[in-house]
Amino acid sequence: MIANFPTDVIAATRKYIYVFRRRGFIKPTSYFVLLLCLSYYLGYLSTVSKNPTHEPHQHYSTTTSSPPSKVVVDHYQFQTRCADPIPSQFIRETILNYVFNGTSPYHDFPQPHIKPLLRQKKINGWGSTGAVFRNLIHKVRPKTIIELGTFLGASAIHMAELTRELGLDTQILCIDDFRGWPGLPNQFQDIKMVNGDTMLMYQFMQNVVQVNATEAIIFLPFSTASTLEKLCEWGVFGDLIEVDAGHDFHSAWLDINRAYKLLRPGGVIFGHDYFTAADNRGVRRAVNMFASVNGLRVKADGQHWVLGSF
């Protein structure tokens, strides 16, 4: 085994023995040093035999770890299973029973403490009367319309007027939490705020009452995510679905995925803000990605987008 010693170890051992002799150390001391060197080398051999790739001069980081195994994450499927679609003539009753305890929210509206805070009629919106509404309503002739993002009801009221012109008995479901966004009272100073609560929902209701559309338009004052999941559970589907709530990518992506599950065969899903300053970082990115994943095509109609096979 000594013959297999590294030359540097042998040389160092001989040097130490020579020094010890010159300085008058007795032989047992020299033997002790030699034994110490032997112990070191045996430990070295033991390490090499256990780890053949061991490189004593290579530095290793104590924080490194093996790369994690590949995790498949599916962002394209929403697993909630919807109930069978209920007939369109039962949709209004279903919403009233589940949301308003069977009573119309327009009953005895407005209450005396609310009336002074409202304008008789204030219908604001963005792209709310675009040609896309007439085009799609004439094409689909929907019995049920689901609208995500209502604000003051401009587009919902416009769609109610269009369906009325065609003699359709259409139910329009408006989904909006009516909270607006930070800074809304500064932008719309005639929309009052009471104890931190904007009067958006009450002004929306006032607008619907003023155009005599309370039988055609019913609302669900909750977030789009929670409401769409409930409509899925209740079997409430739409022939025409408009997505115009959150305009950032993530909000639009979630809304489109959840809403598409509620589309009846032959129905159409569409929305607003396809061409904005956000470009491919907002609604357009969500629409294009959804179309790509589901094998659909996107058709632009003004500022609106329409999904379909075309």
Q: How far apart are CA 75 and CA 288, in angstroms?
A: 15
User: Domains of the chain: which residue ranges?
Assistant: 2-50, 88-308
Q: How far apart are CA 118 and CA 96, in angstroms?
A: 24
Q: Give the pTM.
A: 0.74
Contacts 24+ apart (CB under 8 A), 66-69: none
Per-position pLDDT tens, the chain of length 310: 444 555 655 565 566 556 556 655 555 555 565 566 556 555 555 554 444 444 444 433 344 444 445 544 455 566 668 999 999 999 999 999 999 999 999 999 999 988 888 887 676 666 678 899 999 999 999 999 999 999 899 999 999 999 999 999 999 999 999 987 776 667 676 777 676 667 789 999 999 999 999 999 999 999 999 999 999 999 999 999 999 998 899 999 999 999 999 999 999 999 999 988 777 789 999 999 999 999 999 999 988 999 987 6
Tokens (6 digits) for 16: 């130490």
Amino acid at 100: F
Q: According to the CATH classification, is domain 88-308 in 1.10.10.60? A: no
